[in-house]
């Protein structure tokens, strides 16, 4: 029972115990057990019919947490690797399975709510991060979005954003999960409490550990050009200045950025970077990517990215294909063209499927769990991110949106 005086987030035990699931899954399990169907083996696949915002491709993210959840259960899982860039359908409109589960339905069915949540939201965040990285023309992108989302999922958000392409995250939890050093500048609150830019900048430089990069926020009280020079004079080893200029003062943001860069260079501060933030998304980032900006701090548009609408469907029961209307029955295998990333689906794992571009597609599904036991070593977020970046570069060169 949830206490109204406490926090409203679920513990790991509550998730594993099914406390957060849609209640009808528990009722289904009881009915199947009562009717002697608990042990009937099924194949269930996870697919999506389309992607939000007209996206042509997405990044599959969240598999590791699903495996952690189901380790020790009575299920085998075959999946595309985490970090796979995929399209949701084949050219002939067959939905592409991202994961295939095999085992008694009662061995994993009641976890459907949790499993979908562990891949739908992370995949949306990772995709938004990847698209923002492209928009930034591969410049540094910092994930600043935790403050817009519930703190219970900050680790999920940071991991997904990092895997998708963000170069660093802002929370200590996210830093621990991704094995990176969390980054940040200073909040406006510091300048407001200290009473001036100079006193805030100097206090930060005197008190905070020297290994923390000195990046000062310069839009609190005064003109950005003036404040940028103030920061340079107040902090000896200044790494960068951050412009978080509000929309009501922004005007032509691109011109403002170039003006600050000119002023810094004119006075010899050529090594001081410019970081920008404040309501950025892939569209606004793309508009200023050609400027002298060194890094983009992107928050809500990544952390609150649209969730991928994936679903789990039984497609085979006790060796016989079966499906609900609108879905294709039968256990399927996922293929992808290594050159143009078009997708293919077959009822056999050894087919030769040719892409419309003429290339032979690769079967990209791999076994990741057999009878509740992981069969592949865990990959680090950095390893997954490297794979994502290579694929995203390739698909961006194809001109896919």
Report, as an integer, the average pLDDT of 50-64: 97
Residues 12, 249: Cα–Cα separation, whole Å? 45
Q: What is the rounded distance in angstroms from the CA atom of residue 212 to the CA atom of residue 17? A: 41
What average pLDDT score do residues 153-180 get? Answer: 97
pLDDT, the chain, mean: 94
Average pLDDT over residues 60-65: 98
Closest CA to 297 of 180, 168, 152, 154: 168
Rounded Cα distance, 197 and 218, in Å: 8
CA contacts within 13 A on the Cβ side of 202: 9
- How far is CA 33 from each of CA 26, 44, 138, 320, rounded to the nearest angstrom? 11, 19, 53, 21
pLDDT at 374 over 70: yes
Query: Residue 248 above 90 pLDDT?
Result: no
Q: Residue 323 has what pLDDT?
A: 96
* Structure tokens given for 64: 């590791």
Half-sphere exposure in the Cβ direction for 61 (13 Å, CA): 33
CA distance 380 to 177: 9
The residue-averaged pLDDT of 39-47 equals: 97
| Residue 184 vs residue 130, higher pLDDT | 130
CA dist list (Å): 180 to 122, 170, 378: 19, 10, 17
3-state helix, strand, coil in the chain (%, to 5): 40, 20, 40
CA 329 to chain centre: 30
pLDDT score at 70: 97
Residue range 96-115: mean pLDDT, rounded: 96
- As a whole number, mean pLDDT of residues 338-343 equals 96
Q: pLDDT band at 4, cuts 50/70/90?
A: low
- Give the C-alpha separation, 100 to 116, whole Å: 13
| Per-residue model confidence as pLDDT tens digits over 64-78 | 999 999 999 999 999
Q: How far apart are CA 266 and CA 261, in angstroms?
A: 8
How does pLDDT run across 255-314, given as a tens digit for each residue?
A: 999 999 999 999 999 999 999 999 999 999 999 999 999 999 999 999 999 999 999 999
Q: How confident is the model at residue 9 (pLDDT cuts 50, 70, 90)?
A: confident
Judged by DSSP in three states, 271 sits in: coil
Pull the structure tokens for residue 272.
């001081």
Sheet holding 362-363, edge to edge: 343-346, 333-336, 362-363
Cross-strand pairs, 240: 215, 273
Question: What are the residues whose beta carbons fall under 8 Å from the beta carbon of 222, sequence distance 6 or more?
Answer: 197, 230
Q: What is the pLDDT of residues 196-246, one digit of tens each?
A: 999 999 999 999 999 999 999 999 998 899 999 999 999 989 999 999 887
Q: Beta strand pairing status for 273-277 and 362-363? A: unpaired
Q: Is the pLDDT of residue 87 over 70?
A: yes
Sign of the Cα pseudo-torsion (275, 281, 282, 287, in order)? negative
Q: What is the pTM of this model?
A: 0.95
Sheet holding 168-169, edge to edge: 168-169, 140-143, 295-298, 273-277, 238-243, 214-217
The predicted-structure confidence for 117-131, as pLDDT tens digits, reads as follows 999 999 999 999 999
Taking CA atoms, 358 is separated from 337, 343, 397, in Å, by 9, 13, 18
Q: What is the DSSP letter of 337?
A: -
CA distances from 26 to 19, 29, 73, 213 (A): 10, 5, 16, 51
108-120, pLDDT tens digit by residue?
999 999 999 999 9
Q: Domains in the chain, ordered, with CATH? A: 12-124+306-397 (3.20.140.10), 134-303 (3.20.20.70)
With bands split at pLDDT 50, 70 and 90, how would you rate the model's confidence at 315?
A: very high
CB burial string 102-129: b at 16+ within 10 A, e below: bbbbbbbbbbbbbbbbbbbbbbbbbbbb
Asked whether the predicted pLDDT for residue 1 surpasses 70, the reply is: no
Token couple for 70: 């189901």
Q: Supply the pLDDT for residue 56.
A: 96
d(CA 98, CA 45): 7
Cβ-contact 254, 287 below 8 angstroms: yes
At residue 5, the pLDDT reads 65
């Amino acid at each position: 029972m949830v206490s109204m005086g406490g926090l409203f987030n679920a513990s790991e035990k509550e998730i594993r115990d099914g406390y957060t699931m849609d209640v009808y899954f528990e009722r289904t399990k009881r009915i199947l057990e009562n009717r002697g169907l608990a042990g009937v083996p099924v194949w269930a696949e996870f697919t999506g019919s389309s992607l939000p915002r007209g996206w042509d491709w997405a990044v599959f993210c969240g598999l590791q947490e699903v495996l952690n959840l189901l380790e020790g259960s009575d299920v085998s899982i075959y999946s595309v690797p985490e970090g796979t860039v995929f399209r949701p359908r084949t050219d002939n409109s067959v939905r592409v399975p991202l994961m295939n589960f095999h085992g008694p339905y009662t061995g994993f069915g009641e976890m459907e709510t949790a499993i979908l949540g562990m891949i739908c939201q992370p995949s949306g965040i990772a995709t938004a991060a990847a698209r923002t990285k492209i928009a930034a023309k591969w410049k540094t992108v910092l994930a600043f979005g935790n403050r817009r989302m519930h703190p219970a999922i900050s680790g999920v958000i940071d991991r997904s954003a990092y895997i998708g392409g963000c170069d660093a995250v802002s929370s200590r939890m996210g830093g621990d999960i991704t094995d990176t050093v969390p980054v940040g500048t200073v909040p406006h609150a510091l300048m407001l409490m200290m009473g001036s830019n100079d006193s805030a900048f100097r206090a930060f430089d005197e008190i905070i550990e020297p290994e923390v990069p000195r990046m000062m926020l310069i839009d609190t009280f005064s003109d950005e050009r003036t404040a940028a020079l103030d920061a340079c004079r107040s902090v000896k080893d200044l790494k960068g200045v951050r412009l978080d200029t509000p929309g009501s003062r922004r005007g032509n943001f691109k011109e403002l950025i170039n003006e600050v860069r000119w002023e810094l260079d004119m006075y010899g501060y050529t090594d001081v970077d410019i970081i920008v933030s404040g309501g950025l998304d892939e569209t606004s980032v793309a508009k200023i990517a050609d400027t002298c900006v060194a890094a983009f701090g992107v928050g809500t548009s990544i952390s609150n990215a649209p969730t991928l609408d994936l679903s789990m469907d039984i497609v085979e029961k006790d060796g016989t294909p079966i499906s609900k209307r609108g879905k294709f029955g039968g256990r399927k295998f996922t293929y992808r063209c290594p050159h143009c990333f078009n997708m293919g689906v077959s009822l056999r794992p050894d087919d030769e499927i040719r892409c419309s571009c003429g290339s032979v597609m690769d079967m990209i599904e791999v076994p990741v769990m057999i009878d509740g036991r992981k069969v592949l070593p865990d990959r680090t977020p950095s390893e997954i991110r490297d794979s994502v970046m290579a694929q995203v570069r390739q698909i961006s060169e194809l001109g896919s949106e």
